[in-house]
């Protein structure tokens, strides 16, 4: 089941977005459970209270809590949620990229653009749910969803898998072995001792890599340039930007 939240202070527009999203899911043969909000704070409260959503359809311009601020706040509780921004104004496109939306839809073209955006997002969500890494050692056997891996580092004879929930799993393997078992194109070699999940990188400056779990990483200039290129390619191919 795909869980969708729609948030727009214009209730009529919100209902239109919700109906289009539900119809899209039916056409894909997917069961959909959707909720409509007219207040960003109400949606945030539900996320804080433990509600789960796979996909958010958000108006950018809303009173009190705009769509970009709402996205940043909600990702503290739902770090892997997919976000589609819907707005009347194209001026926010580049600013919105800071919070990595999956797609950007103009309200004047909502009948044409939203079904395609939702369809692509649902397929992406289903694809990611099928990706996982099997971590096995002498004590445990664990299925770790790829979307929950932040980075993997190596010390002595073990690879340590750092996860979004703050926990860590170790396997008795080299990084090269682990890297070969991960989905192609989802990770990048940050240096000889660290593999980083591209989906977990929020942004890169000249000096630091900012990760979605709040950590910051720094590597040599040449490596930072390489990672930036890989991230650009990942966003273009996987996140529908460009």
Residue 161: the pLDDT is 96
Q: Is the pLDDT of residue 149 over 80?
A: yes
pLDDT tens per residue across span 170-229: 999 999 999 999 988 899 999 889 999 998 898 898 789 999 888 999 988 888 999 999
Task: Give the architecture-level CATH label for domain 133-238.
Answer: Beta Barrel (2.40)
Domain boundaries, the chain: 2-129, 133-238
Nearest residue to 198 (alpha-carbon basis) of 211, 181, 186, 210: 186
Q: Helix, strand, coil proportions of the chain in percent (round to 5)?
A: 40, 30, 30
Residue 241: the pLDDT is 44
pLDDT tens per residue across span 28-63: 999 899 999 999 999 999 999 989 999 999 998 888
Query: Could you give the C-alpha distances from 53 to 81, 131, 226, in angstroms and in order?
Result: 7, 19, 34
Domain spanning 2-129: CATH 3.40.50.300: no
Q: Is the pLDDT of residue 242 over 50?
A: no
Confidence (pTM): 0.64
d(Cα 112, Cα 116) in Å, to the nearest integer? 7
Max mean pLDDT among 2-6, 63-67, 68-72, 80-84 falls in: 2-6
Average pLDDT over residues 87-96: 61
Same fold across 2-129 and 133-238: no
pLDDT tens per residue across span 114-144: 999 999 999 888 887 778 899 987 778 898 9
């Amino acid at each position: 089941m795909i869980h969708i939240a729609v948030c727009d202070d214009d209730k009529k527009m919100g209902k239109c977005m919700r109906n289009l999203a539900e119809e899209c899911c039916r056409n894909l043969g997917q069961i959909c459970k959707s909720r409509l909000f007219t207040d960003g704070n109400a949606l945030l409260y539900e996320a804080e209270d433990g509600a789960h959503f796979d996909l958010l359809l958000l108006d950018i311009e809303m009173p009190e809590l705009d769509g970009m601020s709402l996205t940043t706040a909600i990702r503290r509780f739902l770090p892997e949620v997919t976000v589609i921004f819907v707005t009347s104004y194209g001026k926010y496109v580049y600013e919105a990229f800071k919070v990595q939306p999956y797609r950007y839809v103009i309200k004047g073209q909502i009948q044409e653009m939203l079904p395609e955006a939702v369809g692509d997002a649902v397929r992406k969500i289903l694809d990611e749910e099928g990706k996982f890494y099997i971590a096995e050692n002498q004590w445990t056997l664990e299925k770790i969803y790829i979307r929950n891996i932040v980075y993997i580092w190596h010390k002595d004879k073990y690879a340590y898998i750092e996860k979004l929930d703050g926990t860590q799993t170790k396997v008795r393997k080299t990084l090269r072995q682990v890297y070969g078992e991960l989905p192609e194109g989802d990770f990048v070699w940050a240096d000889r001792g660290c593999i980083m999940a591209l989906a977990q990188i929020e942004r890169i400056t000249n000096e630091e890599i900012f990760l979605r779990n709040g950590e910051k990483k720094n590597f040599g200039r040449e490596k930072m340039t390489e990672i930036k290129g890989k991230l650009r390619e990942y966003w273009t191919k996987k996140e529908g930007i460009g």
